[in-house]
Amino acid sequence: MNVSSKPVRKAVFPVAGLGTRFLPATKVMPKEMLPINDRPLIQHVYEEARDAGIEEFIFVTGRYKNMLEEHFDYQPELEETLSSRGKEDMLAAVRDSEMPEGKLFTTRQPKPLGLGHAVWCAHKLVGNEPFAILLPDDIVNHEKGCLAQMIETYNEFGGNVVAVKNVPREETNKYGILDIGEKKGAAVSIKGLVEKPNPEDAPSTLSIIGRYILQPEIFEHLSVFERGAGNEIQLTDAMAKLLGVQPFHGLRFEGQHFDCGSRLGFIAANLAYGLKDPAVSAGVRSIIKDLL
């Protein structure tokens, strides 16, 4: 354990984006409420953070996003009905989706100016301590959650930790790619970030997914409100300013990653989570067979 590291107690969930890739499904319904198997994306990432020991959950919401907070509310009428019908399994599932009192905090991002801006909107609630960011778009299927794995890396090295995965070399021009230094087991130290390099110029094939543990100094860089790619305030641009100043590691996490912000990733995740759920697994298998 790196003794100078403060523990990671808080997690930020940026959920104020427009979700245009899923229109018209997301015209009224937040993208983060789309279900993977039996629970919405936001609940998958909430559970990952809770199981990693996070104590405070900070949602950065926006217009039409109130449903996200309501999903974690206590629902007395529903619970009474399920209880009177003897539906103990469903009752347990509903209770598991409730957030204990005093744990959920929300702030607003009035306009979707980019991920970096959404994270900045949480600066007062985070304060002067390290914190995690989880994007509900990204889900990782593994017994030990991705954030729990990252916290172990953080406890070893301190500073900043991001989750990274290999992408096919011919596709490096679609991603932000890492320039890496020393390899330390599953972790790598990060020297630089290169946006969408051509395969022949890419310094590695490692790309960041939506899991971060960052130091509060990130807010100083975000508060400049500098516009980057797509004219948005980018988290990556602010992170790049911490490279070389603070420890910065990428963790090659274990588990299957799904980019549920894309339609294909979303479909793949539903199949994978259906296949691992004993309640529907056999049915999903036979449906896939029939369809093919």
Could you list the residues that contact ligand UTP (CB under 6 A)?
Answer: 14-21, 31-32, 60, 109, 112-115, 117-118, 135-137, 261
Residue with tokens 């523990």: 7
C-beta closer to ligand UTP: residue 111 or 285: 111
15 vs 49, beta carbon nearer ligand UTP: 15
Here the tokens at position 53 are 């020991």
Residue 154, amino acid: Y
Cβ at position 235, least distance to ligand UTP in Å = 9
CA 279, 282, 283, 287 torsion: positive or negative? positive
Say which residues have a Cβ less than 8 Å from residue 40's Cβ, sequence separation at least 6.
Answer: 32, 33, 34, 71
Q: How far is the CB of 267 from ligand UTP (least distance, A)?
A: 15
Closer to ligand UTP by Cβ: residue 31 or 165: 31
- The residue sitting closest to ligand UTP, measured at its beta carbon, is 17
Closest Cα partner for 64 from 102, 104, 18?
Answer: 18
94 three-class SS: helix
Closest distance to ligand UTP from the beta carbon of 163 (Å): 14
Whether the ω angle into residue 24 lies within 30 degrees of 0, i.e. cis, is yes
Closer CB to ligand UTP, 108 or 241, in the complex: 108
DSSP state of 75: -
Nearer of residues 46 and 158 to ligand UTP, judged by Cβ: 46
Give me the least distance between CB of 121 and ligand UTP, in Å please. 8
Could you tell me if 142 and 46 are in contact, meaning their C-beta atoms sit under 8 angstroms apart? no
- Rounded to a whole number of angstroms, the minimum distance from the CB of residue 229 to ligand UTP is 11
What φ, ψ does residue 136 adopt, rounded to 5°? -65, -15
Residue with tokens 């490096």: 172
The smaller minimum CB distance to ligand UTP, of residues 121 and 190, is found at 121
Q: Which uninterrupted H or E stretch holds 21?
A: none
Q: Give min distance, CB of 39 to ligand UTP, in A.
A: 16
